[in-house]
Amino acid sequence: MAYDIDPEQSVSIVAILLFLTAAFIGLPELQHLVTGSAMSLFPLLLAVALVAAGVGLLQGRQWAWWLAVVAIGFSALRDLLGFDPERLLGLLFDALVIFLLTRPATRARFGVR
């Protein structure tokens, strides 16, 4: 039994999840910037990559599929290494994004084998 979801719906759901993940990662870093405390560059770059991937996916760009997979992989790694119970939600988002991006119809939509 195949779990093939409409690729257009998958792309929309993935874009929303990428934007939410970027917000969860980027907003605390921006708060550090505003308060004057030290901020880490990696989470901020990851948030920018997630937003770029989401926008690119909505525009149907093939590079965005690859960027989304790489960025969400780094996000999942970050969530796994965090040992923080609230990162479980982030890990759930990451798993759902990977699941939706790797569906055959979604991969075909972006020309990815």
Tokens matching residue 88: 């479980």
The one-character DSSP state at 9 is H
Mean pLDDT on 65-93: 90
Between the alpha carbon of residue 62 and those of residues 18, 38, 45, the distances in Å are 16, 35, 20
Give the pLDDT confidence of 10-45 residue by residue, as tens digits: 999 999 999 999 999 888 888 888 888 887 889 999
Tokens matching residue 80: 């796994």
Comparing C-alpha atoms, which of 56, 79, 78 is closest to residue 66?
56
Give the pLDDT confidence of 48-75 residue by residue, as tens digits: 999 999 999 999 999 999 999 999 999 9
Tokens matching residue 59: 């525009």
Tokens matching residue 4: 């093939």
Mean pLDDT on 85-108: 91
